[in-house]
Amino acid sequence: MSAGATPAAADAGPGRLKTWAASASVGVALTLILAKAGAYFATGSVSLLSTLVDSLLDFAASLINLVAIFQASVPADREHRFGHGKAEPLAGLGQAAFIAGSAAFILVQAADRLFRPAPLTNETVGIAVMVLSIAVTFGLVLFQRRVIRATGSIAIGADALHYRSDLLINLAVIAALIASGTFGWDLADPLLAGAVAIYILWSAWGIFTSSVNLLMDRELPEEDRERIRTIAMGHPAVISIHDLRTRSSGTQTFIQFHLEMDPNLTLIDAHTIADSVMGRVEEAFPNAEVLIHEDPFGIKEARPSFE
């Protein structure tokens, strides 16, 4: 049996990037909370209130992310032999709950304003704060995209999805403020706030399903599994491959399978072949821990089949 693991030191760069991204999210959320609170009290806009609540939850979710990323970076230990990577999808579930809660609050406020319309005041202040929010959020999203490409972090991915939706939310608020202040369409404010809430719920569902898939050890996409098979079968001494199983835990991927080879090979030769295949798979999946079992070809085994 052969196994290979990515050294803990190799994760130092990605771990630092994820920490920077999570810290930046906390800082941006806190800045926007202060700006939006002042703008809401100046305008009374329920759609602006929706973005204030969203930023409050962004702040809480980003704090959870920061803690989860720190925990996920802790190396494997005696009690957690597969590491602590699932702290990230757990944080994703927390984010989904926060986001869904904010959407429910916004829907209630929008419904109240829809049946009891009220004119807005100081729309210029609200628009200025929304423009500031768009600029700051856009900068954060660009940084998060870079971190996601480098690390594949589910926690930062959930955070980025939320902040990307914030860009649309802020644009919707600007539209509502202009419609109310310039054209007197007071219903635009609650209607756009309701549309924003529905979009937030959709975002929360995407984060929830991604997190659950990781926690439930969902297989890698079929194209990745086929790539693993192709790599294994590319070795001239490998006759067949079976029992391929894959899963992810945070940014760590776990791959295991059985190689079928000539039953007359010596143990050392079989081990050498498996090591060679393992190296090729690890080269294709740099953050993977690969476990290979060597089988003599032609031996029948009772095993479940999911193909």
pLDDT tens sequence across 214-260: 777 778 888 999 999 999 999 999 999 998 999 876 667 889 999 99
Which is higher by pLDDT, 219 or 28? 28
- With CA atoms as reference, report the closest residue to 36 among 155, 166, 132: 132
Given a contact cutoff of 8 angstroms between Cβ atoms, the answer to whether 3 and 290 are in contact is yes
Name all domains of the chain by residue range, CATH numbers in brackets: 8-215 (1.20.1510.10), 222-296 (3.30.70.1350)
Q: What's the pLDDT at 235?
A: 94
Which is higher by pLDDT, 29 or 190? 29
Q: What's the pLDDT at 271?
A: 93
Tens-digit pLDDT profile for residues 89-147: 777 787 778 778 777 877 887 787 778 776 666 677 778 888 988 999 899 989 988 88
Give the model's confidence band at 307: pLDDT under 50 very low, under 70 low, under 90 confident, else very high: low
Residues 19, 23: Cα–Cα separation, whole Å: 6
Average per-residue pLDDT in the chain? 79
Which is higher by pLDDT, 21 or 8? 21
Q: What's the pLDDT at 98?
A: 74
Q: Which residue has the tokens 């700051």?
A: 136
